[in-house]
Amino acid sequence: MANLTKAELRDGGLMSRWEAVSNKFDTLNDQLTDPEVLSQSALLVSLNKERAELEPIASMFGEYRQVLEELSQSQLMAEDQELDAEMRRLASEEFETLKARREVLEAQVVELLCPEDEGNNKNSFIEIRAGTGGSEAALFAGDLLRMYLKFAESKKLRSELVESSETGIGGIKEAVVLVEGKGAFGFFKYESGVHRVQRVPTTEANGRIHTSTATVAVMPEVEELEVHIDQKDLRIDTYCSSGAGGQSVNTTYSAVRITHIPTGVVVTCQDERSQLKNRTKAMRTLRTRIGDAEREKQEASIAQQRKSQVGSGERSEKIRTYNFPQNRVTDHRIGLTLHKLDRVMEGDLDDLVTALKAQ
């Protein structure tokens, strides 16, 4: 089914689109009783998810058809001269009430039929890497990581650190965060690119302002149905985890490294004490990275745009500047400047996200 704009729906495509969604809902109900579908857990989850998304639209369509039928009846009664005046008056009042209800239903379903982007509700992986600027770039990358974690928390999203490589002074060389929940990808997809910071580093003795960068890449999680990974193509190594301490560190082989031999993609995970949990998390990351690589092959123009946004991490490639002395943040893509950097670094990204979506 082709997507229609709100204007196209209001100009005549509403009924046909609405009916098509309702029919699709009925088809999904039939599929979910098929024994062949019930035996495929991944497909079953996918179909149930799609059914849940269509259910409110389909149920409203039933009410809408009932309202149209009652509208027609009340109009006939209001115009029937054989009825007495009181009956015609009551029919006219009912007609106006039903007409108002019809307009409400139409407005509600237009919003439901025109979501911003069907991919916005996918879980997302956020990759943050220190760019130009040495130790200060690593500190800034750590600040961005904390900013995104707080923003995710404010949106009631679940965030989980999948990979991280820390420096000795509280910064990070790189980190990968999985954000899960409704709207996860939609909230973060405009963050891809080079982020530039201007501030006096804690290590600067003379009070000079330094400029450093960090790069951010945001990718939607690839679902199991989208990418097939043959277990024969995997090399799985286990090793002792490393970290600040704890009884399981350097004593149990809980850390996992998975290599996808055909593509050479390697992922590691040692965050959990359980080898099984680390393996599960590593497989999710691997599937997403392979899926992203496939999309890059199939959609060369999109891949080129993504690469050009992140670039090499040089200062001149920035998409956003964080100026601490002036408490200013500027998004260069839309020319928006806000003088509330302190709040932005605490996860208050709503103004930036809203403006980018509008653009």
pLDDT at residue number 140: 94
In sequence order, what are the beta bridge partners of 259? Answer: 235, 266
> Does residue 57 sit within a domain?
yes
Single out the residue in 51, 86, 113 at which a domain terminates: 113
Distance CA 113, CA 19 (A): 11
How long, in residues, is the chain? 359
Single out the residue in 113, 133, 156 at which a domain terminates: 113
CATH number of residue 89's parent domain: 1.20.58
pLDDT at residue number 305: 45
Decide: 257 and 242 in contact? Cβ < 8 Å: no
Q: Same domain, yes or no, for 35 and 151?
A: no
Q: Same domain, yes or no, for 58 and 187?
A: no
Sheet-wide strand order for 265-269: 234-239, 255-260, 265-269
> Does residue 287 sit within a domain?
yes
> Does residue 166 sit within a domain?
yes
Dihedral angle of Cα 283, 309, 168, 149, to the nearest 10 degrees: -60
Q: Same domain, yes or no, for 15 and 102?
A: yes
Q: Same domain, yes or no, for 169 and 89?
A: no
Q: Same domain, yes or no, for 354 and 257?
A: no
Distance CA 45, CA 343 (A): 39
**Residue in 125, 118, 138, 142 with CA at minimum distance from that of residue 192:** 125
Backbone φ and ψ of 173, nearest 5° = -75, -45
> Does residue 155 sit within a domain?
yes
Q: Same domain, yes or no, for 15 and 72?
A: yes
Q: Same domain, yes or no, for 104 and 133?
A: no
3-state secondary structure of 206: coil
Residue 247's alpha-carbon distances to 189, 253, 264, 278, in angstroms, are 39, 12, 33, 17
Rg (CA), the chain: 27
Distance CA 342, CA 347 (A): 9
Q: Same domain, yes or no, for 208 and 325?
A: yes
Token output for 26: 């009925």
Q: Same domain, yes or no, for 235 and 209?
A: no
> Does residue 204 sit within a domain?
yes
Distance CA 51, CA 171 (A): 44
Single out the residue in 298, 320, 343 at which a domain terminates: 298
**Residue in 147, 123, 180 with CA at minimum distance from that of residue 350:** 147
Dihedral angle of Cα 59, 60, 66, 72, to the nearest 10 degrees: -160
> Does residue 320 sit within a domain?
yes
Exposure on the CB side of residue 17, measured as CA atoms within 13 A: 21
CA 20 to chain centre: 26
Could you tell me the residue range of the domain that residue 272 belongs to? 231-298
Token output for 292: 């992203």
Residue 9 is classified by DSSP as I
Q: Same domain, yes or no, for 106 and 31?
A: yes
Cα separation of the two ends of the chain: 26
Distance CA 185, CA 343 (A): 22
> Does residue 337 sit within a domain?
yes
Token output for 269: 């995970």
CATH number of residue 261's parent domain: 3.30.160.20
- The count of domains in the chain is 3
Query: How are the residues of the chain apportioned to helix, strand and coil, as percentages rounded to the nearest 5?
Result: 50, 20, 30
pLDDT at residue number 205: 65
The burial class, CB within 10 Å (0-12 / 13-18 / 19+), for 224 is middle
Distance CA 27, CA 30 (A): 5
3-state secondary structure of 267: strand
CATH number of residue 210's parent domain: 3.30.70.1660
Dihedral angle of Cα 100, 102, 105, 111, to the nearest 10 degrees: -90
DSSP letter string over 128-175?
A: EEE-SSHHHHHHHHHHHHHHHHHHHHHTT-EEEEEEEEE-TTS-EEEE
Q: Same domain, yes or no, for 13 and 105?
A: yes
Q: Same domain, yes or no, for 14 and 102?
A: yes
> Does residue 147 sit within a domain?
yes
| Ordered per-residue pLDDT tens for the chain, 359 residues | 445 555 555 555 677 778 888 888 899 989 888 888 888 888 888 888 888 888 888 888 888 889 889 999 999 998 888 888 889 899 889 989 888 888 888 877 776 776 556 678 889 999 999 998 888 999 999 999 999 999 999 999 999 998 888 887 778 999 999 999 988 998 999 999 999 999 998 766 677 888 999 999 998 887 654 677 888 989 998 887 665 444 444 556 788 999 989 888 898 888 787 888 888 888 888 888 887 777 666 555 445 544 554 555 454 568 999 999 999 999 999 888 999 999 999 999 988 988 887 66
